[in-house]
């Protein structure tokens, strides 16, 4: 059996009586950029939070790097997560925001410095290292948020609508940046959005979701030109 970077097996999640995810299966290859696309409320964040370990699943399993992590702590899953709201520490400088988690984990000072410098270089935020979040633009803050995942040197990045709070120009700039980041790092990325353009431009494969079920999982070209049903066609397909 080939080992996938992330495998989701028969995953279900209920909030009380409400079934949000139902018997979901998904295999993601090492280095793949997967976009979870669907309207608000379809369960994208819930699925991402299950993978991250921020929510307990009702049933099923999650494997990361071949290891069953279904009941592992978030910090032990080898993932880094970037949210829509930046969740930076407001009282800390950018440098501190980037290094804080590594310090807490007891990493050596020179290794921390090396990792922060590398992340700052990749994301072009070196001039901002001594600033506080309040002194940054939305786009700069989101770069720092990505940097916090980057310094942890994880195999799998999870993004939950990271560009939604940005204006159109910044959104397209940072979209290009994220694409570049993936091309450079070649890690696995699972990226949630409700924006069709983001999905079509970023993804190796797009998973279209509706009511907690994946309707179609294909490369952008196939999704766009050969939607499997009217729902997918209406959401992303080419007008025909
Ligand atoms: P998306 O990210 O696609 O917009 P979510 O995963 O946030 O969707 O939500 C999926 C469904 O689960 C929605 O109907 C939402 O109202 C519901 N939901 C999300 N979080 C909770 C919660 N903590 N308790 C109860 N219902 C929730
Ligand atoms: Mg969401």
Contacts of 239 (CB under 8 A, 6+ apart): none
* In the predicted structure, residue 183 carries a pLDDT above the cut 80: yes
State pLDDT tens for residues 44-59: 999 999 999 999 999 9
Short-list 212, 240, 226, 204, CA closest to 38: 212
Given this model, what pLDDT does residue 153 score? 85
- ipTM surpasses cut 0.90: yes
Given this model, what pLDDT does residue 168 score? 87
Given this model, what pLDDT does residue 239 score? 57
Ligand positioned closest to the Cα atom of 49: 1
In this prediction the pTM is: 0.93
Given this model, what pLDDT does residue 235 score? 87
Given this model, what pLDDT does residue 236 score? 84
Sequence-ordered alpha helix ranges (H) in 65-167: 94-104, 109-122, 138-150
Given this model, what pLDDT does residue 237 score? 65
From the CB of 84, is ligand 1 less than 6 Å away?
no
State pLDDT tens for residues 68-109: 999 999 989 999 999 887 789 999 999 999 999 999 989 999
Q: Tell me which of 24, 36, 39, 46 to substitute to probe ligand 1's pocket, judged by most ligand atoms within 8 Å of the beta carbon.
A: 46
């Amino acid at each position: 059996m080939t080992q996938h970077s992330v495998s989701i097996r028969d995953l279900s999640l209920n909030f009380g009586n409400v079934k949000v995810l139902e018997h979901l299966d998904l295999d993601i290859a090492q280095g793949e950029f997967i976009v979870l696309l669907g309207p608000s409320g379809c369960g994208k964040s819930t699925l991402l939070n299950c993978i991250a370990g921020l929510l307990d699943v009702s049933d099923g399993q999650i494997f990361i790097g071949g290891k069953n992590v279904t009941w592992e702590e978030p910090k032990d899953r080898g993932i880094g997560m970037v949210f829509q709201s930046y969740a930076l520490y407001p009282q800390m400088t950018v440098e501190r925001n980037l290094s804080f988690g590594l310090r807490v984990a007891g990493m050596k000072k020179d290794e921390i410095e090396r990792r922060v410098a590398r992340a700052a270089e990749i994301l072009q935020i070196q001039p901002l290292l001594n600033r506080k979040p309040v002194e940054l633009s939305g786009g700069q803050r989101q770069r720092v948020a990505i940097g916090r995942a980057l310094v942890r040197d994880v195999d799998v990045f999870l993004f939950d609508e990271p560009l939604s709070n940005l204006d159109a120009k910044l959104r397209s700039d940072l979209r290009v940046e994220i694409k570049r980041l993936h091309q450079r790092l070649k890690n696995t990325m699972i990226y949630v959005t409700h924006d069709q353009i983001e999905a079509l431009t970023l993804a190796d494969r797009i998973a279209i979701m509706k009511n907690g079920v994946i309707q179609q999982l294909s490369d952008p070209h196939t999704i766009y030109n050969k939607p499997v049903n009217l729902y997918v066609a209406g959401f992303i397909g080419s007008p025909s």
